Amino acid sequence: MSSYNSMEPTKSGRKYLRRHSILAKLDKASFERIYEQLECIHLAPGCRLFEQNSQGTDLYIVISGRLGVVVENPDGSSELVGEIKPGESIGEMSILTDSLRSATVIAMRDSILVSLSKANFRKLIETHPDTLLMMNQVLVERLRDSIHPQTQTRTTKTFSIIPISPRFSGHEFSRVLADDLSDWGHVLHLSRNNLTERLGIPIRAFDDETVSQIAIWLHEKEQEYDYILLEGDETETAWTDFCVRHSDSILLLANASKHPRESINRHYQTKRLPVSSTREMVLLHPDTVKSPSGTREWLDTYPVDTHYHVRLGFHADRKRLV
C-alpha cells in the first residue's frame, strides 16, 4: 500500500529539491513559500500513483526511488514506456491542459516524492515563468520520445542480497561480490551492522521517519556510487524488507547443499510486484563440488528471472556472476 502523509522531507530531501528539481531556479523566499505547500508522499513498490484516464489534480516531483510510466492498451495489455527518476516531475500535462492522465504511473521501488496542487502550481508559473519553460522542455522531450520510441532499458544499480537458507549468512558472499564488482565501478556495501556508522545516526527502529531518512540518504549515495549492495539479514526483518523494497534487482542467496523445503524468507518465494525488481537466484556451492545438482527443485520452489551456480573460491564462477 502507499502511505500518504504531510510529513516534511528530511533536510537532505529539502536540499535535493532546492538543487535538482523544477524548483531549483526559484529564489530562496519563493522556494520557501512553495515548499510550505508541498505534501510528502511515500509509495511502496508496485503501488500506483495515479491511473491512466484519471483527472489530474497534482504535479509530483520524485525525491528518491523510481517510478514507471505504463500505458494500458485497449486489449488489456500494458507496456512500460518510461521511467521517472529523482529530480524529475510527472503530471504536468494534465495540469497545464486540464486533460486526463495519458498513462498509469507505478512505483518501481520504494519512492519518496512531493506533490504540488494545481492551484499552487499555477501560482508558481505565474510568478516564475522560467519554471514553465523548464516544463515545456520536459514535455517536448517526452513528445519526441513518443514519436521516435526507443527500447526502454531498466536502470540496475542497487542490488539486495537476501539469504534464503537457514543459519546462512550472506556477509562473506556480499563482501566478495563487492570486491569483485569494484573492478567495474565504485561500490557501496551496506548491511544492518554498518548502516548506523555510515549514516551517522542510531537506527533503533524502522518507523516511517527513519525509513524516509535512510531512503533519501541512500538516494544521495546512488549519485556517488556506481553500484550499491544491500546485505539482508539471515531472517525476515524490517531491514531485510527495506533492502528488497529499495533494490533494482533481488539476489536470493541459497545454500545449494540444503534442500529448498528448508528455506526461510518464504514470502519472497512468490512475491512479484508489477513493474518491480528483477529476481535472481545465486546457488552457492562448496568449492569441492564439480557439477551442480538439484537445481530444478530450487527453481520450482522459487520462480526467478535467472539463476547462477557459484563457488566462492573459483574466480571464474564469480566473474560470470559479476
Contact 67, 107 (CB under 8 A): yes
Contact 62, 86 (CB under 8 A): yes
Give the percent of the chain with pLDDT over 70.
83
Three-state DSSP state, 229: strand
The pLDDT value recorded for residue 174 is 96
> What average pLDDT does the structure give for the chain?
82
pTM of the model: 0.73
For residue 145, name the pLDDT band (cuts at 50, 70, 90).
Answer: low
The pLDDT value recorded for residue 2 is 45
The pLDDT value recorded for residue 95 is 80
- Residue in 264, 229, 233 with CA at minimum distance from that of residue 247: 229
Q: Which of 127-141, 191-205, 275-289 has the lowest mean pLDDT?
A: 127-141
Q: What number is the average pLDDT over the span 96-106?
A: 88
Q: What share of the chain is helix, strand, coil (3-state, %, to 5)?
A: 35, 25, 40
The pLDDT value recorded for residue 3 is 47
Q: What number is the average pLDDT over the span 75-84?
A: 84
The pLDDT value recorded for residue 210 is 79
Amino acid, single-letter form, for residue 42 = H
Q: Which of 91-105, 147-161, 262-276, 305-319 has the lowest mean pLDDT?
A: 262-276
Q: What number is the average pLDDT over the span 274-297?
A: 85
The pLDDT value recorded for residue 9 is 64
Higher pLDDT, 176 or 121: 176
The pLDDT value recorded for residue 255 is 93
Q: What number is the average pLDDT over the span 111-140?
A: 78
Tell me the C-alpha distance between 177 and 321, whole Å: 9
Amino acid, single-letter form, for residue 66 = R
pLDDT one-digit tens code per residue, 182-227: 999 999 999 988 888 888 766 767 777 777 778 878 877 887 899 9
Tell me the C-alpha distance between 177 and 311, whole Å: 12
pLDDT one-digit tens code per residue, 30-73: 888 888 888 888 888 888 999 999 998 898 999 888 898 999 88
Question: Does the pLDDT of residue 254 top 90, yes or no?
Answer: yes
